[in-house]
């Protein structure tokens, strides 16, 4: 049984606890440095032990902790210290005061970020969701030894480290608000797109690191430019020799008087070339003039020089291929130049406004609250950033789906030096007991060394 | 009507003198707090701390996120974003009005030290996935000993062994298709939250040994002023091995160390006709089996020793 407690995250008491609650974060934020001015030694020791015990093994009674406490503190010596030449930092030995707690399974679970507090870790262990070396252990005090592999049921970890799952009412409320806001946006974007565009550009940058990856202007511009680059390639691939010959023959046979104006779309120089080429075909009364289907043209251009017996025809084929090659080259060049001109400078901040900016926006149907409450699977939410009801995509899971990290997780995410964690499988290895070395203590604690020193003095006194 | 004279309290001997040994103070922040006042609404009973945390968390968006609080979303660039309690607003733009009371420790790096008051506590770095697979390859394919890999990449032996264990579990899970979409998202988010291990920066010190207890106490020795005295002499006095020897031992690869099976001699008694008992004798040490007559039991003690059997059940020993 853990120690009974009330209002563990009291803001007026302001103790820092081993938990990832937002209240705890605020307590940590506003925590004042512990001062000893005008206090007797015993008062100092008492304050120090009260503060540290509120964080280390808060769930244990004082008498239980006293049996766990080991006054001989373990540290390490670095043999290459004298070789380095620089001054060696002091070793915070006193920070090992609570090191004997770290080998307990519950604490290791919390340190490995498989539970959001030590008390939650205890719950996971008691409910049989934790294994050590493949065996279910139901005792939170199980002492881990170096090399032990412990694991937690992944659903429990996702529950502990994820956002809490909203109730159906909460999800409906959020979604109705989201849909109303979205429909308003679609309405505004269709009636006054430029104003909405400018409003979007002026919006401050989102702090969301999980979902708003596309909000980065640089990435947007890169994507825009990539699209343009790809379209250049697509357009160039379209301009083949047979395509050009097809165009020339069709334009030529379509008009009575063939001159440069007929091939105006080819440009100044290329139109001359096209005229002369068409004349050659017309003069030799080539069968393609009458039967200029695409397949025939392709077949003609694919024939090799050796396959043609007639000398004049051989000459015509060679000339055709050469002229078409020249036209194709210049056409490719113009496509490339046009495409590159339409790209945006990478240093520019925004994508320029076009009429197509808000293309393809759709209004969302309103949700029928009563019907969804009867049958939740009837809810159809298809917002651009969300499918399914808010946080309730997969109803069988006890956490917010799709999984989203819990609030303020970044402030509590500390990778412990004495554990090796595999988040992908929710397994971790207890590598060794945490140690103190020059300039570092592996026991994770919010308190400085002088507080631990006094707490150690409190517990290491004689006659205990 | 009450006269003003009646309001004057006269201290009486023995009463009214309150001895206050320790007055509990509420945990008000030391920085200059900018907490909104209670609204004029009669029903607003919110306390100072309720209003303080509300203004600290900032506004919520439609989805219920404190979207303007700079600590709400986890960092995803391998650069932790631990708190800096300088009294500046964590919501929106900071106003740079830090209190003169709070001078942040200059040695603190808020992307390395999670707690503002403790610079001895650092977050460890996570080993990149590529390096992990490289380590597995070195051991499994190239046949290197774990000790050699540890020296090569500056990671302690225990951690190398742990990586090998976990990588084998991960490949097994991948083969069995046990990693769900949510789980892979979780691992991805967690991975990007921690600093990456980039050797040689942040590599482990492989010359660490547990501090010998003999060195933790003072030892006095009288020697002549001209007599040279160095670490080797100190080791001799303290009856400890010299550092160079220990270092050489640490860098040795003891791969051919085999665990020797301990054979326990068993004598089985001859079973005779009409015997009700079959005897079997094994060698054992006194004290490790059975109870010694007259010896004190620990079963009444509060720190009664406990152990766990192979099925994970707690047993008293």
User: pLDDT, tens digit, for every residue of A55-108?
Assistant: 999 999 998 999 899 998 988 988 887 777 778 889 999 999 999 999 999 999
Distance from CA of A359 to the nearest CA of B (A): 25
Mean pLDDT for chain A overall:
89
Residue range A353-357: mean pLDDT, rounded: 75
pLDDT at A244 over 90: no
Beta carbons of A161 and B190 less than 8 Å apart: yes
A50 touches chain B (CB under 8 A): no
Give A137's contacts in chain B (Cβ within 8 Å): 308, 312
Whether ipTM tops 0.90, in short, is no
B21 touches chain A (CB under 8 A): no
Q: What is the pLDDT of residue B21?
A: 62
Residue range A231-248: mean pLDDT, rounded: 85
Task: Extract the tokens encoding B274.
Answer: 């009409």
Q: What is the pLDDT of residue A216?
A: 62
Angle between helix A311-342 and helix A268-283 axes, rounded to 10 deg: 160
Q: Phi/psi at B198 (nearest 5 deg)?
A: -125, 90
Which of these, A431, A460, A442, A432, lies nearest to A92 by C-alpha position? Answer: A442
A161 neighbors A423 (Cβ within 8 angstroms): no
What phi-psi label fits residue B16: left (phi over 0), alpha (psi between -120 and 50 degrees) or beta?
A: left
Beta carbons of B185 and A402 less than 8 Å apart: yes
Q: What pLDDT digit, counting tens, does each position of A375-421 carry?
A: 998 999 999 899 999 999 999 999 999 999 999 999 999 999 999 99
Q: Block means of pLDDT (10 residues each) for chain B, length 317 residues?
A: 46 54 81 80 87 93 94 95 87 62 76 95 96 96 93 94 96 96 96 94 89 86 92 90 86 64 86 89 82 76 81 87
Q: What pLDDT digit, counting tens, does each position of A422-442 carry?
A: 999 999 999 999 999 999 999
A80 touches chain B (CB under 8 A): yes
B27 touches chain A (CB under 8 A): yes
A207 neighbors B67 (Cβ within 8 angstroms): yes
Using CB atoms, which residue from B80, B121, B186 is nearest to A410?
B80
Q: What is the pLDDT of residue A423?
A: 97
Beta carbons of A413 and B74 less than 8 Å apart: yes
Whether the upstream peptide bond of residue B200 has omega within 30° of 0, thus cis, is yes
Q: What pLDDT digit, counting tens, does each position of A95-145 carry?
A: 999 999 999 999 999 999 999 999 999 999 999 999 999 999 999 999 999
Give B62's contacts in chain A (Cβ within 8 Å): 174, 177-178, 181
Beta carbons of B83 and A12 less than 8 Å apart: no
Residue range A309-325: mean pLDDT, rounded: 82
Beta carbons of B208 and A77 less than 8 Å apart: yes
Chain B, window 198-257: residues with a beta carbon less than 8 angstroms from a chain A beta carbon: 205, 207-213, 215, 231, 243, 246-247, 250
Interface A-B: count of C-beta contacts within 8 A: 264
Burial per residue of B179-217, b for 16 or more beta-carbon CB atoms within 10 angstroms, e otherwise: beebbebbbebbbbbbbbbeeeeeebebbbeebeeeeee
């Amino acid at each position: 049984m853990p120690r009974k407690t009330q209002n563990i995250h009291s803001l007026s008491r302001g103790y820092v606890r081993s938990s990832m609650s937002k209240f705890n974060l605020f307590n940590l934020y506003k925590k004042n440095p512990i001062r000893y001015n005008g206090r007797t030694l015993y008062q100092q020791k008492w304050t120090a032990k009260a503060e540290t015990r509120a964080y280390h093994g808060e769930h244990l009674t004082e008498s239980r902790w006293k049996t766990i406490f080991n006054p001989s503190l373990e540290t390490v010596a670095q043999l290459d210290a004298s070789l380095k030449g620089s001054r060696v930092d002091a070793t915070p030995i006193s920070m090992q005061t609570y090191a004997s707690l770290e080998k307990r399974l519950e604490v290791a679970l919390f340190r490995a970020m498989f539970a959001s507090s030590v008390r939650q870790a205890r719950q996971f262990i008691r409910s049989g969701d934790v294994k050590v070396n493949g065996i279910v252990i139901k005792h939170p005090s199980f002492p881990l030894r170096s090399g032990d592999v412990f694991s937690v049921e992944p659903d429990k970890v996702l529950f502990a480290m994820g956002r809490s799952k909203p109730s159906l009412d909460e999800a409906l409320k959020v979604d109705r608000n989201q849909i109303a806001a979205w429909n308003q946006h679609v309405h505004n974007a269709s009636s006054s797109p430029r104003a909405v565009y400018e409003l979007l550009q002026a919006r401050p940058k989102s702090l969301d690191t999980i979902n708003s990856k596309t909000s980065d202007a640089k990435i947007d511009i890169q994507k825009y430019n990539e699209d343009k680059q790809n379209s250049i390639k697509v357009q160039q691939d379209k301009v083949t020799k047979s395509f050009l010959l097809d165009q020339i023959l069709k334009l030529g046979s379509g008009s009575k008087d063939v001159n440069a104006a007929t091939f105006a779309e080819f440009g100044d120089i290329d139109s001359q070339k096209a005229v002369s080429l068409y004349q050659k075909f017309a003069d030799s009364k080539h069968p393609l003039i009458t039967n200029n289907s695409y397949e025939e043209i392709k077949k003609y251009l694919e024939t090799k020089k050796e396959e043609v017996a007639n000398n004049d025809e051989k000459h015509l084929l060679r000339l055709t291929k050469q002229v078409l090659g020249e036209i194709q080259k210049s056409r490719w060049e113009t496509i490339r130049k046009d495409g590159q001109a339409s790209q945006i400078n990478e240093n520019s901040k925004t994508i320029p406004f076009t009429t197509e900016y808000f293309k393809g926006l759709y209004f969302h149907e309103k949700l029928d609250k009563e019907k969804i409450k009867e049958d939740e699977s009837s809810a159809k939410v298809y917002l651009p950033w969300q499918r399914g009801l808010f946080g309730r995509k997969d109803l069988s899971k006890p956490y917010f789906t799709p999984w989203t990290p819990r609030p303020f997780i970044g402030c509590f995410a500390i990778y412990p030096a004495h554990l090796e964690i595999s988040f992908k499988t929710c397994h971790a290895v207890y590598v060794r007991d945490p140690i103190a070395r020059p300039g570092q203590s592996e026991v994770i604690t919010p308190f400085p060394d002088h507080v631990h020193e006094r707490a150690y003095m409190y517990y290491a006194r004689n006659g205990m | 009507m009450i006269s003003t004279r009646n309001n004057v309290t006269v201290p009486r001997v023995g009463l009214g003198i309150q001895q206050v040994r320790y007055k509990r103070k509420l945990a008000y922040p030391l920085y200059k707090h900018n907490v909104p006042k209670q609204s004029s609404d009669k029903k607003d009973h919110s306390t100072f701390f309720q209003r303080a945390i509300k203004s600290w968390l900032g506004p919520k968006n439609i989805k219920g996120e404190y979207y303007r609080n700079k600590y709400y979303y986890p960092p995803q660039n391998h650069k932790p974003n631990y708190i800096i309690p300088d009294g500046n607003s964590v919501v929106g733009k900071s106003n740079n009005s830090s209190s003169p009371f709070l001078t942040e420790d200059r040695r603190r790096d808020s992307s390395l030290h999670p707690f503002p008051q403790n610079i001895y506590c650092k977050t460890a770095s996570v080993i990149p996935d590529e390096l992990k697979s490289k380590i597995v390859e070195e051991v499994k394919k190239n046949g290197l000993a774990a000790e050699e890999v540890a020296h090569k990449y500056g990671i302690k032996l225990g951690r190398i062994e742990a990586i090998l264990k976990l990588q084998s579990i991960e490949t097994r899970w991948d083969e069995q298709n046990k990693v769900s979409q949510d789980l892979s998202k979780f691992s991805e988010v967690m991975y990007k939250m921690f600093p990456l291990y980039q050797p040689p920066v942040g590599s482990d010190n492989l010359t660490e040994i547990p501090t010998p207890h003999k060195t933790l106490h003072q030892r006095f020795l009288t020697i002549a002023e001209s007599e040279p005295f160095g670490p080797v002499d100190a080791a001799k006095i303290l009856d400890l091995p010299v550092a160079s020897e220990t270092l050489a031992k640490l860098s040795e690869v003891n791969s051919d160390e085999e665990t020797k099976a301990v054979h326990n001699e068993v004598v089985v008694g001859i079973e005779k006709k009409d015997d009700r008992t079959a005897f079997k004798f094994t060698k054992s040490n006194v004290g490790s089996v059975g109870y010694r007559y007259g010896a004190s039991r620990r079963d009444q003690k509060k720190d009664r020793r406990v152990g766990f059997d192979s099925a994970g059940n707690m047993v008293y020993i």
